Amino acid sequence: MATVYKAPLRDMEFVYYELLGGEKLAELPGYEEADPDTVKAIWEEAGKIAEEVMFPLNRTGDEEGCHFENGVVRTPKGFKEAYDLYCESGFTGLTADPEYGGMGMPHSVGLMIAEMMSATNHSFSMYPGLTHGAYNAINAHGSEEQKNTYLPKFVEGTWSGTMCLTEPQCGTDLGLIRTKADPKEDGSYNINGTKIFISAGEHDLTDNIVHLVLARMPDAPPGIKGISLFLVPKFLIKEDDSLGPRNGVSCGAIEHKMGINANSTCVINFDDAEGYLIGKKHKGMEAMFVMMNSARVGTGMQGLAACEQSYQGAVEYARERVQMRSLTGAKHPEMKADPIIVHPDVRRMLLTIRAYSEGCRAMSSWIAQELDQHEKNPDPVRKQEADDLASLLTPVIKAFQTDVGFESANLGVQVYGGHGFIREHGMEQYVRDARIAQLYEGTNGIQALDLVGRKMGMHMGRYLRRFFHPVQEFIEAEMEVPEMNEFVMPLAKAFSRLQQASAWIAQEGMKNPDQAGAASVDYLRMFGLVTLAYMWARMAKIALAKQDGDEAKFYQAKIKTARFYMQKLLPQTGSLFSTIMTGSETLMDFDEEFF
């Protein structure tokens, strides 16, 4: 039995409108067109393409992979046609500025589409996803000429973008970059060097590929402060914006990988390639972080997508696979055995995936709407608050959601048993594809260091307060509501642990940075669990008031999933707290020679 996928449109609407009040975004200047009818129609069209076009290409694309010959990369059969349809449907310009041909929809609307595309075809979703990041970086830091030349082509989908950071000798530590940028008399630069692990670095989907490249000028100061960002197109651009001769950019190889085989992960060589400075010299990281932060939220969505696709496949199998009888007596006596969905451990796995999936959708949508507020709200105070919260939770979304996405993909295979290990059922691909999301755009350990090393202490703890205050207010407001007690009390206890852990890390980390480093991964996990608990408590509150209508079953399922989360998953915060409080001694006192 092969896997299945149905776009979870009803749950998306619940999160976007009932939980987060997304209809209010249409009141912001620039988002007037984002009324509910338009938004839902966009999601329905995206869901149809995801189900009918992208999903069938997922397994065939994985098995065929990309082809590399004489510097040319060809994507798997059907990808070019799927990409053209994606562009014709307007999705490449959905959230882009109308000035450049975009639809100007909120980022939170686009995020739901990113989930659907990633859930049905992780490899495919990366091609337009990287272009979206390049669009954001150029829009934020590029010159007017650069914006007018490149952004309309990105919106059309006729040109695509990449992010070229990593080199053989440096990944996280970008201060070690060796790629050189030598200035020319005409104001452009000669770019020389090699970049590796470049997703969508070369392919046959678009007429041109625009690389955003980190490089170092001759007068650059050492380390990360000496890096600049350059725009380096595959084909040079003529004055009339038509394509000119091939630039000094070539693909040296494509990687043979564990997963995402239908996405071309390339070695890209720059040999006297003509490049153009984006933003200010030696300020490349500032410009690149616009793209990286966008990519980190997008990567978090890939984790959510792994949860959703694994859940749907596992539930379908659990309903149909017949094995043994229920421990409390036959539930389907007319059959030779019961479907495995009657067994407690199978239900544990299914509910774990479901609780993470729906919780992560709520968390990431919350932050996506905060990003929309930051971009369009005319009130500077509200803009700042939104930016603070998004900055704090971006590493949590990236790391927590990709961690639980991989865990969920593994659980999906476990539900299938031995059949999950067999390729024809499709579940094992989800595990292989999900694994990369914990690695790229900064490994999850790096995200944890970003959270404890930068975000916790920024502006004297202002970022943390943006999260702590609304959670505390919610707990205090709902504590005395009897029907909310089973959801608020677990949240309150876990939130208290998070506050205590935050204070301990802040205090001990100042004395010894290894204390913060040793606690970081556990702390980020705890932060993610508490954030989901806050989301689940809020969702339960909404569902409790809507149990008697036409959609009673939908809301009752919400309440029961919230109950499962609070009782079975949130208690992880207790063991995480204990681990954090043991400090770094057992890690750092282990002699290096003993390893």
Closest CA to 533 of 588, 489, 499: 489
Per-residue burial over 142-163, b if 16 or more Cβ lie within 10 Å, else e, is: beeebbebbbbbbbbbebbbbb
Q: Which two tokens stand for residue 334?
A: 């007319």
Q: What are the φ/ψ torsions at residue 256 (nearest 5 degrees)?
A: -100, 115
Note whether 397 and 364 are within 8 A (CB): yes
Q: How many of the other CB atoms lie within 10 Å of CB of 344? A: 10
DSSP 83: H
Q: What is the distance between the alpha carbons of residues 580 and 526, in angstroms, rounded to a whole number?
A: 10
Instruction: Output the CA torsion sign for 12, 15, 18, 22.
Output: negative
Q: What is the distance between the alpha carbons of residues 534 and 570, in angstroms, rounded to a whole number?
A: 11
DSSP characters over 475-534: HHHHTT-GGGHHHHHHHHHHHHHHHHHHHHHHHHHHH-HHHHHHHHHHHHHHHHHHHHHH
Q: What is the distance between the alpha carbons of residues 39 and 99, in angstroms, rounded to a whole number?
A: 20
* 176: amino acid identity, one letter: L
Per-residue pLDDT of the chain (595 residues; tens, 9 = 90+): 667 899 999 999 999 999 999 999 999 999 999 999 999 999 999 999 999 999 999 999 999 999 999 999 999 999 999 999 999 999 999 999 999 999 999 999 999 999 999 999 999 999 999 999 999 999 999 999 999 999 999 999 999 999 999 999 887 888 889 999 999 999 999 999 999 999 999 999 999 999 999 999 999 999 888 999 999 999 999 999 899 999 999 999 999 999 999 999 999 999 999 999 999 999 998 887 777 777 889 999 999 999 999 999 999 999 999 999 989 989 899 989 999 999 999 999 999 999 999 999 999 999 999 999 999 999 999 999 999 999 999 999 999 999 999 999 999 999 999 999 999 999 999 999 999 999 998 999 999 999 999 999 888 889 999 999 999 999 999 999 999 999 999 999 999 999 999 999 999 999 999 999 999 999 999 999 999 999 999 999 999 999 888 899 999 999 999 999 999 999 999 999 999 999 999 999 999 999 9
Catalytic annotation present for 441: yes
Note whether 341 and 347 are within 8 A (CB): yes
Q: What are the φ/ψ torsions at residue 216 (nearest 5 degrees)?
A: -120, 130
> For the packed helices 552-564 and 513-544, what is the interaxial angle rounded to 10 degrees?
150
End-to-end CA distance of the chain: 45
**Residues facing residue 194 across a β-bridge:** 269
DSSP characters over 424-453: GGSHHHHHHHHHGGGTSSS-HHHHHHHIII
Catalytic pick from 308, 407, 428, 441?
441
> For the packed helices 344-376 and 552-564, what is the interaxial angle rounded to 10 degrees?
100
**Residues facing residue 214 across a β-bridge:** 229
